[in-house]
Structure 1
């Protein structure tokens, strides 16, 4: 898991590279948040009745499909 760079008080500003990494991180995170929001909106998670291990695999598969679909229309 990667975490974004954080500017601390009384420290120099973030470099261009660090800002670029933060932007990329935000884009990836936003897609993940949207995928989970879709699952919650359609109540897929509440209707799912299986063991947690299998549910995790199902959610991961849905997340990958959502990511592929987002890349398809990204241009």
Structure 2
């Protein structure tokens, strides 16, 4: 199952997509949901993983390949540090047991993920 998540710099979930088959590449999923176009239209600079290379100038991805010069390695380390809160947001979503142990049609996972997002927002708002 492929779910796309947008998280803020503080790691707060901003948006969760519906479900797509797991075989769908992340870049294709982002295009299907209109994420790339919406971020470009909003003028937001976005940090993403290597799967999103070629998404546009506003989407920053780490350098690929082996034998990179030290400057590119350092840039990748800085990129990973900045993406950390977003990755924690993904981990929080995966921590919900209902998404790990689905006992229903996988095509309902998107609605379940959106419900989890709503519950998470309510839980964090009460703190």
TM-score by length of 2: 0.35
Higher strand share: 2
Larger radius of gyration: 1
TM-score by length of 1: 0.50
